[in-house]
Structures are given as C-alpha cells and as structure tokens.
Chains A and B, each alone.
Chain A
C-alpha cells in the first residue's frame, strides 16, 4: 500500500461518510426552469461567487504560467464572448446570467463551460 499506485485492501464500513477521506457534505439548491435562463443560477452563484472567482483565477494563473505575456487570457476575454451567441439556448443565456451575477468576464465563464472540449487540447 505504500508504493504507487498505493492500492489498498477493499475498504468497508466507510458509509456513512467519515474520517480523512470525507471532506464534507454538499449543499442543495433549486434551479427553477420556469425562470428566464439568465435568472436561473442567481441563488447558486450569489452563494458561490467567491469560490468561483478563486477557481477561475487559478486557471488564469496556470494560463499565465504557460503564456506569461497574458495574451492567452486576452484571447479568452476577447474571442469567447463572440462565441457565446453560437451556443444553443438555454445554455447561452444561462452562461450570460452567471457572468452578470458573478462579475466574472463572460469569456472566462464560457471557457469554464466548454472546458471538457478545450481540455483535450
């Protein structure tokens, strides 16, 4: 168990979650699909804004580590807002709503939402 890949004996009795592998429970929120798409995420984002800003800053720091000139982030902030309107609704309007509530530049919220496809790069 002390050499990679650190395979353990099959764990038992881990539930209910406890101990060092359990960091914490997860909060519940309601997303009302009857609201306009731009308003649906207001409650979640109002609560999580600070963590979201921190996470996006971490990605920006990483991008700057690769491209110190800051050009990569500029590209994200200039190009991806142009792309948001090509995304299908309701996703496009929901992403705009998240950017408005969080204050995070729209391009960076778009990047977060298409990250799975971008990550393959």
Chain B
C-alpha cells in the first residue's frame, strides 16, 4: 500500500492511496498477475453510508468486507490504513481472542467505528492511537485545517509514533508505504523513495488530486498488487476511486 496526505500552499489537504493486496497468494503465470489481487478488483465499490438520509461517511471498499480501509468523513477528516508487519502480529491477537481476552479491536472495525462516530481530526487521532488492537497497523489521517495530516504507527498495544505535517520544517506531506518511517524500507520493496522523489518533484505549489494520482501511477508505487487508487479532498467532501492495472514490465510488489 501507499498512502499520502499533502497540504498545498493554499492550505488545502488532499489524501491519496493505492490499496495493494494479495502478496504470495497464488501467481498466475500466464497473465503475470496475483490471483487474489485480480479477484478483488471486481469487488471494489464506493460506499455512501447514510443515517437519516444524511451522509455520515464515504468509503472505497471490497464488497463483503464490513470493515474500512479507506474513507472520508466529509469536511472533517480522511483516513486510510496500511499494513504493518511485526512478529507480534495479528495471529497473537487472534489467539488471545480465542482464549477469551477480548479487550482489543479488530483493525478494520476500529477504522469503521472512527469514520462512523468520531467528529473531529483530534478525536479520530486519539482513538486510532490509543485503542488496543489485535494486529499492528499504520493509520494515515488527514484533517480539515492546516497541518492536520499524520501517520500513526501502531503496535497491537501501543502508539509507537505519530509523524505530522510540519510546514515550518518543510514537511508539507506525510507518506507511508509499509515500513516504519524512521527505518529504511526492506531493500527489495522500496516504494517510499520513488514516491517521495515524485512528490518533491511535483512540489507543494502543484500538488492536487491530479498530481497525487500521477505519483500513485508511477511504478513501483503502482505494482501488480495495486487493486485500486482512491483520491479524497476533505474540503470538498469528495472521494473518487479507480481500479488499476500495471502493464508489464511491472514489479510483483
């Protein structure tokens, strides 16, 4: 996955993400593609969650999956989640759950609950940072005011780090793939460096939904695992998504 929240020089916040999934879950030699990734693409849907006929939040999802990986609470915040690998992973959380220890939350149920019930960027950030989880994760959160963009690095129990946009430091965007931002990414899977290079080349002056789509369309940020790209603009309350393909030559991950 790749998620990015950026602030342009007028203070607008834009949030984009590639949802990559299906690694090592069956390679289709003839079509040079991952089987599960290709089976997920037709299931991609945009959802408008309503209460009293009013939109509560919108999301890009896979039909049949009730949790949330990508969503916007119009005019309030935007949220995406990327996978985080850790030895202290989800299988331990599942074991605890089966053994009756049920005070943790399933990751995508937490994101769904935050999108449904949180009413501000700060409230969403607090809940994502402090709720016990069954599996580690990265939460990428954007708000509706200048500077409101962060990456929350979560272990199952703790919030390990929160990296925020800081214009004074020249950090006009935050970008996450699947590795802790203070560490080098796995050398065989460095999508961070090319993504950041393209963001810096775009510059804060030119960043927009369109140019974030360009960044998310650049190989290997776009790869064989990429099922969809979503673009969100909190001030407009807009969410749009596109099913992707990665023509050969293309990285399997």
Contact = CB atoms under 8 A, between A and B. Distances in A.
Given A21-B246, A55-B36, A117-B106, A6 B217 contact: no
Given A11-B214, A109-B64, A4 B251 contact: yes
Interface in A50-105: 51-52, 54-55, 58-59, 61-62, 65, 83, 86-88, 91, 94-95, 98, 102, 104
Interface residues of A, number: 64
B162 interface: no
A27 B56 contact: no
Main secondary structure of the interface of A (DSSP, over half): mixed
B32 interface: no
B51 A26 contact: no
A114 B94 contact: yes
Contacts of A24: 242-243
B94 A118 contact: yes
Contact of B90 (A5, A91, A120): A120
A20 B245 contact: yes
B91 A117 contact: yes
Interface in B88-115: 89-91, 93-94, 97-98, 102, 105-109, 112
A116 B90 contact: yes
Interface centre among A4, A23, A62, A91 (most CB of B within 10 A): A23
B244 A55 contact: no
Interface string B29-44: 0000001100111111
Contacts of B211: 12, 15
A59 B64 CA distance: 14
Q: Which of A24, A114, A121 has the most CB of B within 10 A?
A: A114
Given A7-B220, A14-B217, A114-B94, A33 B26 contact: no
A5 B190 contact: yes
29 contacts: A10-B218, A14-B214, A14-B217, A17-B213, A20-B247, A21-B222, A21-B245, A21-B247, A23-B243, A26-B241, A33-B49, A34-B51, A44-B47, A45-B64, A47-B63, A48-B42, A52-B64, A54-B42, A62-B25, A91-B112, A113-B64, A116-B106, A116-B108, A117-B91, A119-B83, A120-B90, A120-B91, A120-B135, A121-B90
